[in-house]
A and B are shown apart, each in its own frame.
Chain A
């Protein structure tokens, strides 16, 4: 299974360079560069990473097809490939609804969002192929419609960590093409020893995913009641540490990967058997140099 790390969430450029060099020399197969709402523009950061690292593939995204038009994305990916070689992959999706609203971008009709993302993704794929560039395209997905739609591109990155949820997602992909890839990109904390500060960041990230859970999925996994309760608290009191603490830990654990060396071996084997071929470590794993080093060490020792 390939391993990746998400960078550029809150990093300085120097921070991204240092962490990507650790990831690259440590044998991580992927470095993913987060885009909006990160304040650093991912295609530029990806160019810097390509110039300062050697072998890791560089994923860009999630890139919002609502924020950027098709031509802009094709031009950016073409430039990266022409300048630095075919090291790049692209993760597409609608993006962060609240963040986009702040920039005057409306989500539009919710019932058509999957179709609009898919149309844009197909056009981007076709545009890159016309330019003669190989650039695998992934869709970021959580809801069943987006998961099903993803078979039109090269892979799907699921926003899940729980094996039961992953298994359910894969059931929606029954007829995917042979070379189609399925990965996960949950909040992640993989380390030899867990520090309280890192666990706190981990649960913060998992709470964000849980609060954004698609309604039909919440119902499917009998989480509606807890979700409604948490969302009510979010509306009245905002996103606070108290809110995170009020969500039961077993629920938060469903939405992230928090494992030590022994646990990750077992977990990796379990999801590999399900058909997962890529584990992209989301925050907090990439937030500090120490955690990126931990990830590399665990990967090498497992």
Chain B
């Protein structure tokens, strides 16, 4: 997104009633995430600003620690550090492979937490190496860590060590993921509520210039890319999903979209009119999600659509 678009979000976030602005890193594309986070923190007074997510695989760990520390100081408690392994396809392009991704993510989070605590750290992981490095802190700094995760091991790790999970997947998957997170939290002696659950699904308004066909195409792509293991969790006619996957693989999302109906849209995305979208947010809340991200793809008069959706949320809260 261009600064004009992200600037509009930052300037209006407080007024709209947004709880968090999440800023993701699309490797090598778009604005630099830490700077955009700083700009957003400086333009807002109330909202939390989080990175959602920064791939910990492509930055030196000292940079992650320093950047988060800087943003935490700017935000005075309004910053959340979202991280994760990163998209596998992106990492493959960069020649990055991890033998033990869960172990690596655990180690990275633990190192960062020690550095923010003020400790001097020496550590060797698959990706990171520190030799008696510290941030010269006078006192410990608390920075909430959110992990962008999917598989059960990663979810258990998140429930054990993180302050939040950023989840993406169909509704049925989110239901199961919540259970895993809560169980892991309890096992680690934490309250399930100690782990926030952020749902990040494609959100496509079909009003204010937003088109239903875009929603169908996006969902076709999502279904086409979805791992088999996740599809197995879904309580839905599997043949219907397979028809979409086959069409996407053979001819692309346009053809795949022809097999997408409202049931499929409602499983994989949040799309429709204002009231329907907010109904879906409420359904996610019932599944245990503590926050829902209204995010890309941005099309049509997305500013107008976003304003109407938040108005509806505020109206229902009242």
Contact = CB atoms under 8 A, between A and B. Distances in A.
Contact of A44 (B28, B31, B38, B61): B38
Given A41-B63, A79-B35, A103 B69 contact: no
Interface residues of A, number: 30
A83 B35 contact: yes
Interface in A193-241: none
Contacts of A246: none
A249 interface: no
Contacts of B39: 47, 51, 83
A43 B59 CA distance: 15
A105 interface: yes
A210 to B, nearest CB: 23
Contact of B133 (A10, A44, A102): A102
Interface in A23-39: 36, 38-39
Interface in B17-67: 28, 31-32, 34-39, 42, 59-63, 66-67
A71 B71 contact: no
Interface in B148-203: none
A44 B67 contact: yes
A75 interface: yes
Contacts of B32: 43, 72, 75-76, 78-80
B129 interface: yes
A12 interface: yes
Given A83-B3, A103-B60, A103-B62, A43 B131 contact: no
A40 B70 contact: yes
Interface in A68-85: 68, 71-72, 75-76, 78-80, 82-83
A132 interface: no
A48 B67 CA distance: 13
A238 to B, nearest CB: 14
A36 B62 contact: yes
B63 A67 contact: yes
A1 interface: no
Q: Sort chain B's interface into a size bin.
A: 20 to 34
A82 B31 contact: yes
A172 interface: no
Contacts of A71: 28
Contacts of B71: 44
B241 interface: no
A43 B60 CA distance: 15
B70 to A, nearest CB: 5
B132 A40 contact: no
Interface in A166-194: none
Given A48-B38, A83-B35, A101 B131 contact: yes
A13 interface: yes
Nearest to A68: B63
Nearest to B121: A102
A17 to B, nearest CB: 10
Given A79-B31, A102-B133, A103-B60, A41 B66 contact: yes
28 contacts: A10-B136, A13-B74, A36-B62, A36-B63, A39-B69, A39-B136, A40-B69, A41-B63, A41-B66, A41-B67, A41-B70, A47-B39, A48-B74, A67-B63, A68-B60, A75-B28, A76-B34, A78-B31, A79-B35, A80-B32, A82-B2, A83-B31, A83-B35, A102-B131, A103-B61, A103-B130, A103-B133, A105-B60
**10 closest A-B pairs by CB:** A104-B129, A41-B67, A79-B32, A103-B62, A102-B133, A79-B31, A76-B32, A44-B38, A40-B70, A47-B38
Interface of B: 2-3, 7, 28, 31-32, 34-39, 42, 59-63, 66-67, 69-71, 73-74, 128-133, 135-137
Interface of A: 10, 12-13, 36, 38-41, 43-45, 47-48, 51, 67-68, 71-72, 75-76, 78-80, 82-83, 101-105
